[in-house]
A and B are shown apart, each in its own frame.
Chain A
Amino acid sequence: MDIASCKGDFPLLDQTVHGKRLVYLDSASSSQRPRVVLEAMDDYYETTHANVHRGVYSIAEEADRRYDAARVAVGRFIGAPDPEHEVIFTKNATESINLVAATWGRRHLGPGDVVLLNDMEHHSNLVPWLMLAEERGVELRWIPLGDDFRLDLSDLDRLLDGVKLVACTTMSNVLGTIPPFAAIAEAAHRVGALVLADGAQSVPHLPTDVRSLGCDFLAFSAHKMLGPTGIGVLWAHRELLEEMPPFMGGGSMIGDVRHDGFTTNELPMKFEAGTPPIAEAVGLGAAVAYLDALGMEAIHKHEVALTAYAMGTLGDRFGADLRFLGPATTEERGGVLSIAYRDIHPHDLAQVLDQMGVCVRAGHHCAKPLMRRLGVTATARASLYVYNDESDVDTLADALAAAGTLFG
């Protein structure tokens, strides 16, 4: 399978808006999905659906088989040593992080305990810890962002003093910055802290191996990696998951229930209360197979090349009128391009771009502390994925020029 020709696999991209070819540049928010993912989910519903882990009849067994196979496929995709037990299906990356905060966090963090965050986190990896800070007096510390749009780690050892958990993204959803996660994790482990990786942006775009990342928890969402909405993943070491209290209570997660208490089920069901998103898991499994067929190394290479093309093209065409809020080179950087063009407000920019068929996101991208650090309230963000090509970037450039004309 070839990335150059994969655009045709995505039915949604084959349409026009306002009479223009649709150019989708918002994959950092949510990606589109290839036909094979939609077909896998349709086939599941058309031939196999029954609740999982309950039935003894044939189609229920087949539903079990497909659901469990998806779990193993996802686990292998991220290098999980024990996919059958360590991959928990959640609603999305946000729920995965909330799960860790509500279970591991409530058990291990109290007044004076420190969680180390940083200036470029998404709200999903901030607010669960802010909630713990409010609820139990947990102290939050922040790794600052340097003027080069990369984390300033010069003071890391001091910041790590007394830290129990480091929660850090593996790629900024605003800047594209890929922090030196493995080095941060190593330093954190030296002081006995655990490390949570918010992989929502990197897992869809970079080869992922939980062992080389060195994380203890990894959270990500299916809908940013060609899969369906409504399902996300939490990976953690089996020993950690065994020791953590359950998250939500309900069916599937119990061993026994009596008037005076309950026991929890084995992993991974312990953390999957209620009927899970079965068709979504099947869709995620198909998405992972599709990504594997394209090759994660090849995907990364494609995005680096396209990011370089975009930075070059827009830089040449608009010069000092256009500024990227993110690292200036493609080193340790993903295909997320936050753009400031003259002083045109991102919402106005996005509105004009829509008229030209170009989908970009305008707003704070759920990273308000970062917006404050950058001194802006919002940015216009174009983000690239497997189905984008140079013609998409060229259309973006034409649309920016049109916005420049309108707002003078």
Chain B
Amino acid sequence: MPGLEDLYREIILDHYRSPRNRGELPSPPARRAEGFNPLCGDEVVVYVDVDDDTLHDIRISGQGCSISQSSASLMSGAVKGKSLPEVRDLIRTFKAMMSIHEARLGDGEADDPVALDPDSLGELAALQGVVKFPVRIKCATLSWNTLAQSLDQDDAEAPA
């Protein structure tokens, strides 16, 4: 549809129609975090299986729009099998791609500028068009914030 090509790329619609890594993992041992978008009621639950500093497996459940669901699906494929530092880097890079506008919208926590390396984002770059639709940025970042939350929470709880 004219005007919405940047938002609804074919790859986004594909991940929306056939989400990858959908479901749950037994928790514990899997880490589990819930994210809510209070504005629209979208909910996402992220399950991650982390061991030896590696994110071995991930599942996503919850409900949301095409942007939040496709972003979660793309994220799950991008982080699976990666080391935790790599996962954190990816979260930072993705949020930087989205945060230019978030920061301008007075969303608070503007991340430190990160040099954007489009190659490192792969298919995730399809979500870049979302920044032209500021209201939808929170849809795209919901699952990423929830993933970060699952990692941070557990870091805090882990014995020193």
The judgment on whether A and B are partners is yes
Whether A377 touches B1, Cβ cut-off 8 Å, given contacts A347-B139, A351-B136, A363-B41, is no
Tell me how far the C-beta of A351 lies from the nearest C-beta in chain B, rounded to whole angstroms.
7
Tell me how far the C-beta of B18 lies from the nearest C-beta in chain A, rounded to whole angstroms.
12
Chain A interface: which of B62-70, B81-89, B147-155? Answer: B62-70
Q: Does A355 belong to the interface (CB within 8 Å)?
A: yes
Partner of B1, one of A346, A355, A363, A408: A355
User: How many of chain B's residues touch chain A, expressed as a range?
Assistant: 20 to 34
On whether the beta carbons of A407 and B13 are closer than 8 Å, the reply is yes
Partner of A377, one of B2, B7, B13, B42: B42
Residues of A within 8 A of B139 (CB): 347
Residues of A within 8 A of B42 (CB): 347, 377-378
On whether the beta carbons of A348 and B65 are closer than 8 Å, the reply is yes
Counting chain B CB atoms within 10 Å of each CB, which of A348, A355, A378, A407 scores highest? A348
Q: Does B4 belong to the interface (CB within 8 Å)?
A: yes
On whether the beta carbons of B1 and A352 are closer than 8 Å, the reply is yes
Residues of B within 8 A of A346 (CB): 40, 65
Question: Cα distance A351–B139 when bound, in Å?
Answer: 13
Q: Mark A211-251, 1 if CB is under 8 A from B, else 0.
A: 00000000000000000000000000000000000000000
On whether the beta carbons of B3 and A377 are closer than 8 Å, the reply is no
Partner of B40, one of A18, A363, A406, A408: A363
Tell me how far the C-beta of B122 lies from the nearest C-beta in chain A, rounded to whole angstroms.
24
Question: Cα distance A368–B63 when bound, in Å?
Answer: 14
Q: In terms of DSSP, what is the predominant structure of the interface of chain A?
A: helix
Residue of A nearest to B7 (CB): A351
Whether A377 touches B63, Cβ cut-off 8 Å, given contacts A18-B3, A351-B7, is yes
Q: Mark B1-19, 1 if CB is under 8 A from A, else 0.
A: 1111001100001000100
Residues of B within 8 A of A345 (CB): 64-66, 69
Residues of B within 8 A of A378 (CB): 40-42
On whether the beta carbons of B41 and A377 are closer than 8 Å, the reply is yes
Residues of A within 8 A of B1 (CB): 352, 355, 402, 405-406
Q: Does A71 belong to the interface (CB within 8 Å)?
A: no
Question: Cα distance A345–B63 when bound, in Å?
Answer: 9
Question: Cα distance A346–B136 when bound, in Å?
Answer: 12
Tell me how far the C-beta of A264 lies from the nearest C-beta in chain B, rounded to whole angstroms.
37
Residues of B within 8 A of A352 (CB): 1, 4
Question: Cα distance A337–B34 when bound, in Å?
Answer: 31
A residues near B (Cβ < 8 Å) are 18, 345-348, 351-352, 355, 362-364, 368, 371, 377-378, 402, 405-408
